[in-house]
Amino acid sequence: MRLNFKRSKVKPTSVTVDLSAMAGESFMKFCMRAYDFLAPHVKESQRRKHLNFSEGRRHLDARNFAAAERHLHQALSDRATNSHKRRVEVLVALAETQIRLGKFDTAETTARSAMEVATKSRDHANQTVALESLAGVQLHNKRYAEAEQTIVQMQDLEQGKSKPDHAFLARCARMQAAALRHGGRPADALKASRRAVELSEQGAGPDHLDTGNALAELGALHTQQGNQAEAQKCIRRALEIHRGEHGADSAEATKDLVLLATSLAESGDLQGAAAEYEKVLTLRDRQVGGDRHEDAETQVRLAILYLQTERFPAARELLVTAVATLERKGGDSLPLALSALAFIEEHSGRPAAADSLRQRAAKLAPKASAPVPS
């Protein structure tokens, strides 16, 4: 008898698929468990690897400049600083720290080292970062012609890209305006500052903080060049932006009010200028950790306005307070404040006191003279 066994037509695909799915799920779970186990160790390893750089940045942000410099110097020797990009980042942070410490010559050497590393890398982004650092140091060192040349390099590098960064070009234009202004070229500085506002509006937006900063700088230039209507227009826009970003009682808004008061005084609106300076002093009273030297400078300015409108008792009160602060902390306004007090004493019938104040002012600034009310 012959037995005929037929091969089953049913394919065992379902079993095969199930086993494959189970194997895949098991492997994925294994990978996930391995990742959960390794991730903290990897993160800790990375943290230790970049510890000096991160600590340097943290201390720099916290204004602990000596500690920042120490950590950043150590970061230059770390294995993690073996890439061109990281080395440029460390050197740029170190240059900024050295500027804060007043080590301007050392900062310039550091910034030039960053530029050398960036040039070797042939990376435009690295070169841009290094050039911006170098230009900043040159401005601090009052090397305005050199700073202008560096800024032109930055602009050429960025404009050579298919899609230039308008926000970065706006920063370049702001730096360029500063270099030109300090270099004795006010008309060219004004053009650069206008360009900075236009570029910031395109790159960051019309209501962005950077646009507000550019507008404040343009307003200050207009004030210096006697264009008070344009100055006040720019400053009021900057004030609106800074109030929106930082609040009405912020340091940025307060600086705008000082600029506005200065422009109003230059345009002959003494009452308006006095009102703005009064707001400034009120705001600074609310600010924690305010600069008493800046308060004294503002008090002197307001006192001069009070003198010009014959508000002698109010002017005297401000000047007495300002002189006490300026004698402790120093300041260019001290001779002016003493001369103004001498004017009040003379007007009040106390010539001996007036002569004593004038002598003190003359020792500090021989050409200081008492303001004459208009």
pLDDT tens digit sequence for 240-294: 999 999 998 888 999 999 999 999 999 999 999 999 999 999 988 877 666 778 8
Is 307's pLDDT higher than 70?
yes
Q: DSSP for 6-39?
A: PPPS--THHHHHHHHHHHHHHHHHHHHHHHHHHH
Pick from 292, 197, 273, 286: nearest CA to 247: 286
Is 352's pLDDT higher than 50?
yes
**Average pLDDT for the chain:** 85
Highest mean pLDDT among 50-59, 115-124, 237-246: 237-246
Q: What is the pTM of this model?
A: 0.77
Is 51's pLDDT higher than 70?
yes
Is 160's pLDDT higher than 80?
yes
Render the burial of 81-99: b for 16+ CB within 10 Å, e for the rest.
beebebbbbbbbbbbbbbb
What's 153's DSSP letter? H
Per-domain residue ranges of the chain? 47-146, 313-374
261 touches 276 (CB < 8 A) = yes
pLDDT tens digit sequence for 219-232: 999 999 999 999 99
| H runs (alpha helix) in 101-185 | 104-121, 124-140, 144-159, 166-182
340 pLDDT band, cuts 50/70/90, is very high
Give the chain's radius of gyration (CA, Å). Answer: 32
Is 40's pLDDT higher than 60?
no
Is 25's pLDDT higher than 70?
no
Question: What was the pLDDT predicted at 267?
Answer: 95
pLDDT tens digit sequence for 59-84: 999 999 999 999 998 988 887 777 88
48 touches 74 (CB < 8 A) = no
**Architecture of the 47-146 domain:** Alpha Horseshoe (1.25)
Is 146's pLDDT higher than 80?
yes
Average pLDDT rounded to a whole number, residues 117-121: 88
Please identify which residue in the block is written with the tokens 């800790």: 44
CA atoms within 13 A on the CB side of 219: 27
